[in-house]
Amino acid sequence: MLIGRSVLLGVSGGIAAYKAAEIIRCLVKLEAAVQVVMTENATRFITPLTLQALSGQPVCTNLFDLDIESKIGHIQAARAAHLVVLAPATANLIAKMAAGIADDYLTTVLLATTAPVLICPAMNTRMYENPVTRRNLDSLRALGHHVLEPAEGSLACGEEGQGRLADTEDIVETAHRLLTPPTLKGRRVLVSAGPTWEPFDPVRFIGNPSTGKMGYALATVAARRSAEVCLVSGPSSLPEPLGVDVRRVVTALQMRDVICEMAPRMDAVIMAAAVSDYRPADVAPQKLKKFTDDLTVPLARNPDILADLGRSRGDSPYPVLAGFAAETENIVDNAKEKLEYKNLDFIVANNLTQAGSGFGCDTNQVKIIDRKGRITELPCLTKEAVAEFVLDRIERFIRKRAEHERP
């Protein structure tokens, strides 16, 4: 959603101004066009040359620059922006915005733009908690601006508290969401992700190499489209997607309990977790010792969570059910069998033996198969791009079923 979009990054004069360099780098990597506007005080913390080199465009700082302003540059910049991101936004800049003051390049652009504005405050905790600053932020929210709350932690002044500029990843993700049409607004989507670990003593378990990347990408993309998202995650080291309700579990039985309890309230369930098919029949209360060379662990079958959902749904159109089939042979035939057996709307199949596909990869190459046997084969894409295709399919099912429900 950022490819070809114009993002105006406003940088004001706080110590966090140095983080603008990383924000620009991330936006440019996502192929956004970044126009940087700096206040005079911001140039005392980081040079315009640095940000110009990263953005690939001249940095606007002087409202009376004869070259840039020969064509009323501040108005052009305001018109061209699809999104304005203010990072860092100091208490001074926030106060000026709330009062409608336009005495420099950045504040003039802010009065002229009609693009969404994302304010990322960064300041001392006491300044942030000051009733005047809180009032100003409330006023800006009431005007339709968006505020990404600052993080808590160590501040430049040596104090601890809320006031640090939000993490770059969160700023970029919020920008993504503000530029993504809210096509799933009002819809609830449940996604499962990661492996399950099935212990046979307190320190050992049976598991698989799943990292959760595909499921986390699905949850992220659904949230970008303004869905209310619940992510049921097995053990994973991935950061929690911004604004997503994450429920952490370890075993297949725990995952089953959470998903089956929540699924009836969902518009769609996407089962991307690599759930262990078996678990140890008995769990030793203490660590098993190496008394013999061989160890036999009796296994019990785990429930098939998605098949249970399919059976309980019956002929009902809700929730929309989608599953993943990770296979090593007979990919299409095995996936179709799972599709029918589990009563799914569609299934996403991938070959674990194929390069760039499967556990731990940042990419995936999949085939999407529906109940009529139609196959959509995708090239090797990032898992986030695959998630876009899957969510497009989810949206189509929800849209068609909503049309049938109309009187």
pLDDT in tens, 113-165: 999 999 999 999 999 999 999 999 999 999 999 999 999 888 887 888 898 99
Integer Cα distance of 124 and 30 in angstroms: 31
Predicted structure pTM score: 0.92
- Starting at the edge strand found earlier in the chain, the sheet holding 33-38 runs 33-38, 6-11, 83-89, 117-121, 146-147
Instruction: Give tens-digit pLDDT for 215-229.
Output: 999 999 999 999 999
Q: What is the pLDDT of residue 366?
A: 96
321 occurs within a structural domain: yes
Integer Cα distance of 400 and 379 in angstroms: 27
299 occurs within a structural domain: yes
H or E element in which residue 285 lies? none
Integer Cα distance of 30 and 28 in angstroms: 5
Q: Considering only CA atoms, which of 223, 259, 261 is closest in space to residue 241?
A: 223
pLDDT of 77 > 70? The answer is: yes
DSSP state of 195: B
Q: Which of 60, 157, 260, 380 is catalytic?
A: 157
How many domains is the chain built from? 2
183 occurs within a structural domain: no
Are 213 and 110 members of one domain?
no
3-class SS at 59? coil
Q: What is the pLDDT of residue 407?
A: 46
Are 134 and 264 members of one domain?
no
Which residues span the domain enclosing 120? 6-178
Are 174 and 192 members of one domain?
no
Instruction: Give tens-digit pLDDT for 254-276.
Output: 999 999 999 999 999 999 999 99
Integer Cα distance of 381 and 352 in angstroms: 15
Are 69 and 194 members of one domain?
no
pLDDT of 371 > 80? The answer is: yes
Are 271 and 373 members of one domain?
yes
Note if 26 is an active site residue: no
| Mean of the per-residue pLDDT values of the chain | 93
H or E element in which residue 155 lies? none
At 371, which CATH number? 3.40.50.10300
Are 166 and 311 members of one domain?
no
pLDDT of 314 > 90? The answer is: no
Are 205 and 269 members of one domain?
yes
Q: What is the pLDDT of residue 72?
A: 52
Which band of pLDDT confidence, cut at 50, 70 and 90, is reported for residue 406?
Answer: low
pLDDT of 236 > 60? The answer is: yes
Looking at residues 187-203, what average pLDDT do you find?
96
